[in-house]
Amino acid sequence: MPDQSVTLRYAERFLDGFLTTAWICGVSICAAVALGLALFLVRRLPFAPARWFYDGYVGLLRGTPFLIQVFLLYYGGPGLGIRLSATTTALIGLSVYGSAYFAEIFRAGFEAVPRGQVEAARMLGFDRGQILRNVELPQMAALILPPSVNQCIILIKESAVLSVITVPELTTVATRVVSETFNFAEPYLLLALLYWLLVEATARGGRWLERAAGRHLTTTKGLTP
Amino acid sequence: MFDPAVIVPYLPTLIEGAGITFAVSILAILLGIPCGLALCFLRQSRGRAAATAAAVYISFFRGTPLLVQLLVFFYIPPAYGLELPAYLTAVAVLTMNTTAFQAEIFRGGLQAIPRGQVEAARMLGFTHGQVRRRVLVPQMLRVTLPALTNEAIDILKSSSLVSVIAVSELLRRGRQVAAATYHPLEAYAATALMYLLLVSLIAYAGRHAGRRLSLSR
C-alpha cells in the first residue's frame, strides 16, 4: 500500500533532482542555441563542403534517437580515448542534439525573411555582416520564437533520458526512491507532475514572450504602408 | 582501433531488432490515427466535461517525458496486481502518447479547412457524423501528412526508450551486442546507422505519399 509519507520524506532529494534537471537544461539550451546559430552561419558559407557538413551533422543528429547518442558518447567515447563523466556527457549530448534542431529553426526563420529586403539593404551599401545583424536577425527573432520555445520543451523532456547514465537528475531520483521504498505510484506520479509543471511554466513563459514580441511586430506593421 | 568487423556476426540480431522497432512504432502510429482524430473531435465538442477531459489527457501526454509515461504505466499497474505483457504495454504507451500529439496535429489541420464546406455539407443534409467522415477527416489527413510523417519519425526514435524497460527492440539488441563484443563504439554506431535507415525510410514514404496526394488534387 502507498505510504503517504514517502514523498514528504524524500522531498529534499526530489528538489535536488529538479534543480539538477533545471540547470542542465538551462545550460544545454543556451549552448544549443549558440551552437545552432554557428551551424546556421556555417551553412551560409559560399562553398559546398560547408553545406555537406551541415547536412550530415543535422541528418545524423535528427535521424537517430537521443538515447543512442548518449550511449555512443558515454560508452563509445572511451574507444576513441574520450572519457567523460555522466554530467559532462549530459551537457555535451543535450547541447549537440539540440543544436541540430536550433540550426534548422534558424534556417527556416532565415528563409522566411523576404529576399527583396536583403537586396535592398545591399543596394543601400550594407555589407554581409550588417545585413545579418540589422536586417535578418531582428526579423528572424520574432519568427523563430514559437518553434524555439517548443524545442526548449522537447529538450527538457528529453533530459529524462539522462537517467539511463545515472545523471543525478529528476528521473534518476524518482527511480532511486522507488527502488528504496518499493512504492511505485507516489514517486512516479510526483515525477510526472514535476515535469508537467516545468514544461507548463516554460510554455507560459514562451507565450508571454510571444505576446511581447507580437506587440512589437504589430507596431512595425502599422507603420509600414 | 575502430573495427566494424566485430559487428558482422551480430547483424542478424540487430536487423531483427530493427524489425521489432519498426513494427512497434508503425503499430502505435496507425492506432494513433483514429484515436487522435477521435480525441481531436472530443476536444472540440460542446460537452464541457468531455472537452476538459480531452484537454487534460493531451496536456499530460504532451507535458511529461515519454520515459516517465513508460515508468508510470510499466510499474504502477503491476504494483496493484495488474500484470500485462511488456510488448502490449510498450505499444499501448506509445499509442497513448502519439494520440495526444496527433490530436493536436489534427486540430491544426481542422483549422485549415474552410468553414463554408461544413455549412455547405450541412445544407445538403449531411449529418454531423457524415460531415466528419466524408468532408473533414479526408482533408485533415491530407493536410497533416507532413506533420504526421514527422510524428512517425519522432515515435520511431522515441521507441528506443522501450529498451530501458523490457522490450527487446533495436537499441536493446545494440546494448547486448556492445556487452558481448566489448566494442560499444562499433555496436552503438551500427545501431545508430539502422535507426538512420529506418528514419530515412519513413521520411521517403511520407514524401512519396505527399507527391501522390498532391497529384490527385
What are the pLDDT digits (tens) for B93-138?
999 999 999 999 999 999 989 989 999 999 999 998 899 999 999 9
Interchain CB distance below 8 Å, B1 and A79: yes
Cα separation of A11 and B131, whole Å? 52
Q: Report how far apart, in Å, the C-alpha atoms of A52 and of each of A55, A58, A61, A100 are.
A: 5, 10, 14, 14
Q: So what's the pLDDT on residue B212?
A: 84
Q: Looking at beta carbons, which residues of chain A come within 8 Å of B192?
A: 60, 64, 68-69, 72
Nearest to A97 by CA among A56, A78, A69: A69
Interchain CB distance below 8 Å, A65 and B63: no
Q: Looking at beta carbons, which residues of chain B come within 8 Å of A184?
A: 75-76, 79
Cα separation of B205 and B139, whole Å? 19
Grid cell 558515454 is found at A74
Q: So what's the pLDDT on residue A155?
A: 96
Name which of A60, A184, A196 is nearest B79 (Cβ-Cβ): A184
Tally C-beta pairs within 8 A across A and B.
115
Q: What is the ipTM of this complex?
A: 0.90
SS3 B82: coil
Interchain CB distance below 8 Å, B185 and A72: yes
Q: Report how far apart, in Å, the C-alpha atoms of B102 and of each of A5, A80, A182, B148, B154 are.
A: 38, 41, 35, 7, 12
Name which of A59, A160, A200 is nearest B63 (Cβ-Cβ): A200
**Which DSSP symbol is given to A64?**
S
Q: So what's the pLDDT on residue A215?
A: 65
Q: So what's the pLDDT on residue A222?
A: 40
Q: So what's the pLDDT on residue A100?
A: 97
Q: Looking at beta carbons, which residues of chain A come within 8 Å of B75?
A: 178, 184, 188
The reply to whether A40 touches chain B by the CB within 8 Å rule is no
**Per-run averaged pLDDT (10 residues), chain B, 217 residues:** 84 94 95 96 91 96 96 90 89 96 95 91 92 92 93 96 88 92 92 95 92 70
Q: Looking at beta carbons, which residues of chain A come within 8 Å of B163?
A: 67
A56 min Cα distance to partner chain B (Å): 12
Identity (one letter) of the amino acid at B28? A
Cα separation of B76 and B70, whole Å? 10
Q: Does pTM top 0.80 for this prediction?
A: yes
Give the residue from chain B lying closest to A178, CA to CA: B75
Cα separation of A112 and A129, whole Å? 18
What is the residue-level pLDDT of chain A in tens, covering all 225 positions? 455 567 778 889 999 999 999 999 999 999 999 999 999 999 989 899 999 999 999 999 999 999 999 999 999 988 888 899 999 999 999 999 999 999 999 999 988 888 898 899 999 999 988 988 888 888 888 889 999 999 999 999 999 999 999 999 999 999 999 999 888 888 999 999 999 999 999 999 999 988 887 765 544 444 443
Which one of B21, B25, B66, B68 makes the best mutation probe of the A interface by having the most chain A beta carbons within 10 Å? Answer: B68
For residue B63, how many other CB atoms are within 10 A of its CB? 21
Q: So what's the pLDDT on residue B216?
A: 56
Cα separation of A10 and B138, whole Å? 51
A169 min Cα distance to partner chain B (Å): 13
H or E element, residue B207: helix B184-215
Q: How high is the mean pLDDT of chain B?
A: 92
